[in-house]
Amino acid sequence: MIWEVFRQERKGQPFQHAGSVAAPEAEFARAYAHEQYGRRGESAALWVVARDAILDVEDFVDELGRNYHRVDGYSLKEKLKEARERAGTAVDR
């Protein structure tokens, strides 16, 4: 069984993924995480979570290419160029 370990470097800081440990049950996971991610004083606290308990969300479909939902999807430069051409004020660069 795999357990994901999140490590807080100092009190008040966010927990960040540190790695994982293999352990048959919660008590072993706790002990192994303690040794592997805490024995050099590199952590103020750990979260140890059964990998099975983590909900995956990784499906981000964008079939219609609606890139205007994104900040980088709306390029003003191109639109400006087209507008200038229509108005006959295009400048050569």
Partner 1 sequence: MNEQELLSIADDELVLGWRDSEWTGIAPVLEEDVALSSIAQNEIGHARALYTLIAKDPDALALDRRPEEYRSSALVELRFVPDWARTIARRYLYEHADAIRIGRLAESDDKAVAGLAAKIQREEAYHLMHADMWAERLRDEPRFRAALDELLPYALGLLEAADRPALLAATGLENVAPIERGRHDDSWPQLWEEMTMVRRSEPAGVAW
- Which of 40, 3, 46 is CA-nearest to residue 21? 3
3 state DSSP class of 80? helix
Q: Which of 18, 23, 46, 48 is in the footprint of partner 1 by CB under 8 A? A: 23
The Cα 20–Cα 43 span in angstroms is: 15
31 Cβ contact list (under 8 Å, min separation 6): 23
Q: Is 50 in the site for partner 1 (CB under 8 A)?
A: no
CB of 16 to partner 1, least distance (A): 20
Closer residue to partner 1, CB minimum distance, 39 or 69: 39
Q: Which of 1, 22, 45, 83 is in the footprint of partner 1 by CB under 8 A? A: 22
- Please give the residue ranges that form the binding site for partner 1 (CB under 8 A): 21-25, 27-28, 31-32, 34-36, 39
